[in-house]
């Protein structure tokens, strides 16, 4: 069976550094940090009091009151990003066979705010007996964003959510890629959404010592590959891509941003939350993605790393890159856009894949910010090009994006310039 080619024809994003794709991309190229003191709740008693929140978002601008009763914030973000992507791809017109269009939107956690509100309400009203909002379950569950998007546009193709912690939306992209190249769908609206900047999210990650506690300087807290890195900065938002079968896209005259050429998956099989210290799972997932794409390490120009700014995670990923890419590791650009956006958990893979698409489209690599040349980790090889401080122009024919999740879930996707 000959596999079909898959291209990207639409993009949408609502992020801590912009409420659309163009703003997000421009701010990423300019090294703008999205970190600031938390506004969603009073965090004054928490070890971490800052996050990368979406800014200037007013749900009433997008949804009526009746609809809002059904939507957790993470689903609101998903619907807004999906609307941008669908419009960008012109995937609403009457010529589309909606039975052949699917939706796969991932979330690592889902409706945490809804769960926290309902659990808190019951805990403080026990004398009333169990009394829950009828929208509690359908607002909370991690698959419901996909359901809302499909209902919004009448897409009847494959429809589900993916949950693999921080690898969730990269897994969603890989699933969409595989379904399309196998001929199971003509197009899939895919990506991820997350909104976990609430007491349970921040407090839970704090209890694991996973978050940075650099409260005196939030904007510089996410500092991948620096010796003083002390944890990730939690973020929120959504990124959505329209993946489409090439001939279907060409037949309707769709613009094509890039081609998706490979995806890899692996497991660390090591620890609940920590990556393997030698990067064994990270090494395997990149090798699997390269094999799937029919590529050699020398074909990659840019790696958007998982790069969360955690002591063990950053180091293990660097080790894996050096093993997989050998001498070529010194010729690729590497950057962690989490230094600007923070870690969007289940949505992070889709956003970083979007950054790879934009890098391929524009021949420029976004930077890793917040690195002080005097803050060097003796275990990290700084002869590698981490794209510190400033975006770098270069030919980017092919880009690779890594995401790793709690539970040892690893996923990698590869995109390249589209050539007919």
Annotated catalytic, 356?
no
Cα–Cα distance, 100 to 184 (Å, whole number) = 8
User: The tokens 């390249």 sit on which residue?
Assistant: 416
The Cα–Cα gap between 409 and 406 comes to: 6
Q: Please pick, among 40, 148, 166, 356, the residue that the annotation labels catalytic.
A: 166
Residues near 108 by beta carbon (within 8 Å), at least 6 away in sequence: 142, 163, 164, 165, 166, 168, 192, 194, 345, 346, 347, 405
Q: Which is catalytic among the residues 148, 276, 306, 371?
A: 306
Dmax over Cα atoms in the chain, in whole Å? 67
Q: Is 306 a catalytic residue?
A: yes
Cα–Cα distance, 355 to 353 (Å, whole number): 5
Distant-in-sequence, close-in-space partners of 253: CB < 8 Å, separation ≥ 6: none
Tell me which residue of 299, 385, 387 sits closest to 337, measured CA to CA.
Answer: 387
Catalytic residue list contains 248: no
Taking the C-alpha atoms of residue 82 and residue 276, their distance in angstroms, rounded to an integer, is 34
Catalytic entry in 40, 343, 371, 409:
343
Question: Which are the catalytic amino acids?
Answer: 166, 306, 343
């Amino acid at each position: 069976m000959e596999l079909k080619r898959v291209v990207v024809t639409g993009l949408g994003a609502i992020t801590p550094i912009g409420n659309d794709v163009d703003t997000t991309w421009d701010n990423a190229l300019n090294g703008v940090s999205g970190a600031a003191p938390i506004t969603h709740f009073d965090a004054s008693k928490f070890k971490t009091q800052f996050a990368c929140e979406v800014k200037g978002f007013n749900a009433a601008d997008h949804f009526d009151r009746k609809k809002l009763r059904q939507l957790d914030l993470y689903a609101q973000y998903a619907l807004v990003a999906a609307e941008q992507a669908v419009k960008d791809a012109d995937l609403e017109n009457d010529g589309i066979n909606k039975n052949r269009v699917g939706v796969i939107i991932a979330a690592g956690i889902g409706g945490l705010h809804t769960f926290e509100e309902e659990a808190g309400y019951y805990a403080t009203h026990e004398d009333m007996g169990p009394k829950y909002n009828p929208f509690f379950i359908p607002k909370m569950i991690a698959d419901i964003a996909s359901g809302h998007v499909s209902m919004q546009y009448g897409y009847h193709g494959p429809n589900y959510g993916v949950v693999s912690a921080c690898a969730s939306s990269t897994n969603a992209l890989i699933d969409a890629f595989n379904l399309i190249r196998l001929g199971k769908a003509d197009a899939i609206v895919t990506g991820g959404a997350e909104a976990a900047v609430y007491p349970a999210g921040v407090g839970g990650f704090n209890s694991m010592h996973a978050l940075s506690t650099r409260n005196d300087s939030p904007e510089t807290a996410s500092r991948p590959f620096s010796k003083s890195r002390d944890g990730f900065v939690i973020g929120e938002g959504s990124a959505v891509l329209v993946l489409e079968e090439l001939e279907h896209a060409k037949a309707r005259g769709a613009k094509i941003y890039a081609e998706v050429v490979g995806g890899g998956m692996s497991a660390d099989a090591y620890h609940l939350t920590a990556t393997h210290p030698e990067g064994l799972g990270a090494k395997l997932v990149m090798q699997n993605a390269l094999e799937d794409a029919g590529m050699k390490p020398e074909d990659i120009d840019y790696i958007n790393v998982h790069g969360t700014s955690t002591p063990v995670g950053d180091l293990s990923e660097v080790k894996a890159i050096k093993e997989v890419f050998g001498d070529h590791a010194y010729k690729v650009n590497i950057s962690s856009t989490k230094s600007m956006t923070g870690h969007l958990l289940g949505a992070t893979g889709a956003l970083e894949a979007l950054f790879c698409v934009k890098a391929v489209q524009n021949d420029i690599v976004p930077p890793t910010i917040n690195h002080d040349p005097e803050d060097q980790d003796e275990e990290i090889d700084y002869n590698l090009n981490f794209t510190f401080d400033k975006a770098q122009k270069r030919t980017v024919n092919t880009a690779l994006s890594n995401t790793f999740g709690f539970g040892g879930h690893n996923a990698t996707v590869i995109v390249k310039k589209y050539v007919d």
